[in-house]
Structure formats: C-alpha cells, structure tokens
Amino acid sequence: MIDRSSDRPLYQQLADLLREQIKAGELAPGAFVPSESSLMQEFALGRPAVRNAVSVLRQEGLVVSARGARTQVRPALERSVVELRPGDEVVGRMPTDPERRELGIDPGEPILEVTRADGQQQIFTAGAHQLRVVG
Amino acid sequence: MIDRSSDRPLYQQLADLLREQIKAGELAPGAFVPSESSLMQEFALGRPAVRNAVSVLRQEGLVVSARGARTQVRPALERSVVELRPGDEVVGRMPTDPERRELGIDPGEPILEVTRADGQQQIFTAGAHQLRVVG
DNA sequence: CTTGATTTGTACGTATGTATT
DNA sequence: AAATACATACGTACAAATCAA
C-alpha cells in the first residue's frame, strides 16, 4: 500500500489511500477514521506522517477532528440556498483562525463573501450554503 | 510577545502575531516572512511550534511557502471577473490535493464551482476570480 | 459518579533530503 | 560550490478531552 521508494511523500500516500476510501464510500459520512495508533501500526509509519496525512484531509474538508474524540468523515450537510440578484458580487476565501472561532467554522471550510448591489456584505460558510442566481 | 502561561497554544500565538503584522501592512504582500530559525530564536520556540504557526497562515491563504525558498506574504492577485446569469449556481469548497496539483492551485486556496443554467460546470480558483451577477 | 483507557492536541528534539539563493 | 531554507520523517513526552466500564 505504502511505497517507501516512491517520490510521493509517505503522508501524501496515506492521505491518498484514505481519500479514495472516502470517495468510494468505504468510509461513509459520519464513519470513524482509524485512530492514529491504528494507522501507525497498519502502515508502519511514525506519528508525524500519520498526523500529517489526516491533516491534509482536514484541510480538504473531508474529515473533522476533535481532541479526545475519534476523527470522522465529515457528514455532507444540507445547503441552504442563498439568492443572488443582478449587481451582487461574490468572492471566496479561507477564514482566518479568529474568524473561524468567532463564527464556529470547521477547519477546511471556506467562506463566501457576498456583496449586495446596495453595498451590504454577507458572509456564508461554503459547506452549508449554495448560491443561486435569480432573475 | 509569547505568553507561555496562556491557554492559547504557542503556535497560535505566533500565528496571531504574524497575521497582525500582515494585516497591518508591516509584512507587505510579497515581503519575506522571517525564516523558521529566526522565529525559533526570536520567540524561543521549537521547530514544531514555528512550523505549525506558519502552517496556519498558509492554510488561511496569507503566505506561500516553497522548498528552498523563503516564505513570503501572498501578493494580492488581480481578480478576473466571472459573469453569473439567472439559473446559475455556485458552491465553494477546498480542492483535494490531486486537484490542487493538477490545476496548479496554492495551498489555502478554495475553489468556486459554478454550474450554469444549461448544466455545464466550471471551476475557478477563489483567489483569482470574482463573481458578478449580470441581468 | 468516578476511574481508567483511549484519542487527539501541543511541544520538544533530531536527522536527512531537496530546492533555492 | 556552499550556504540557506523549507519539507519530510523519525522519536518522545505530557496535556486535555472524550468515552466506556
């Protein structure tokens, strides 16, 4: 599974394996990702490589981790529809850490900044919202 | 500067300091962030704490790092305007690592998925694009 | 309710590789 | 060619939160 002679870093190889399992549904939304110690043992990797691999998936928004609890595959959440109208503008970016804590945003979750035609600005979490243009 | 008795993790404190310098313009776009070893010495921190701090800023899209070169504050790039029309829909998310490599996207850069009224789908890097709704 | 085991987070150190300057 | 700088990867230790007995 892990090829130590490959050019691809070990943690990326592990991240690739887990990502494929998530995409294939073998690790379903809400399912627990194997613990760090399990992964260390199963793939004969050190803790840095394992943590780095899970970190990659967290940054991709595929899993969520919390201290003391098992890491799990992020459940696909329902997206509220936000209506856009002519003159509205949208940019996307990652929130800063203070913003994340203030707004309660998970790591790996971008935000969408909507500037309305009248100048008002709104911020939406990307994972829970879908923008739709209406006439 | 760094308070070891604080509840806030050391790497977060350092990330906070650097982020403030970036926001204040003391670290201007394109400027070099002090090297890891400088930061280790200046703030009496170990390598993991320093690397973790810079990693936070990279995930926020505020700095870009490359092997062998100094980490620098990400220059604000020009945003091409993408026009949205009635019936179009937009969602935002982080790209997976394979997507990032294929499309040449920097870490900490979200993508915007635009689904046109006719069903066609387009992907834009968030940092370089701005969506505008036209009648 | 408390205890103990498990799990992730934080933080230290070290070594080596690789790309840039 | 040499020095610098970041990336990868190993190990260890302790803290803090969760969960199950």
Q: Which two tokens stand for residue A120?
A: 């008002």
- What is the mean predicted confidence (pLDDT) over B52-76? 97
pLDDT at A135: 83
What does the alpha-carbon distance between residue B57 and residue B62 come to, in Å, rounded to a whole number?
Answer: 5
* Residue B135: pLDDT band with limits 50, 70, 90: confident
Asked if A86 and B133 come within 8 Å (Cβ–Cβ), the reply is: yes
pLDDT (0 to 100) of residue A73? 98
Helix (H, G, I), strand (E, B) or coil at A51: helix
Is B12–A91 a contact, with Cβ atoms under 8 angstroms apart? Answer: no
Burial per residue of A21-58, b for 16 or more beta-carbon CB atoms within 10 angstroms, e otherwise:
bbeeeebeeeeebbebeebbeebebeeebbbbbbbbbb
Q: Over 90: is that where the pLDDT of A47 sits?
A: yes
Do the chains contact at A92 and B98, CB–CB below 8 Å? no
Nearest DNA or RNA nucleotide to A40 (CA to C1')? D10
pLDDT of residue A104: 93
Beta partners for A132?
A: A83, B89
Domain map of chain A by residue range? 10-73, 80-133
- Alpha-carbon distance of A127 to A129, in angstroms, equals 6
- The nt closest to A38 (CA vs C1′) is C7
Q: Is B97 on the interface with A (CB under 8 A)?
A: yes
Pairing status of strand A111-115 against strand A121-125:
antiparallel
- What pLDDT is stored for residue B77 in this prediction? 87
Per-residue pLDDT, A51 = 98
Query: pLDDT tens-digit profile of B17-52?
Result: 999 999 999 999 999 999 999 999 999 999 999 999
What is the reported pLDDT for B125?
Answer: 97
- Averaged confidence pLDDT in chain A: 97
Q: Can you name the CATH fold of A10-73?
A: Arc Repressor Mutant, subunit A (1.10.10)
B31 has a chain A CB within 8 A of its CB: no
**Residues 33-52 of chain B: which lie with beta carbon within 7 Å of strand D?**
33, 35-38, 47-48, 51
Can you give the pTM of this predicted structure?
0.95
Whether the pLDDT of residue B88 is over 90: the answer is: yes
pLDDT of B33 reads: 98
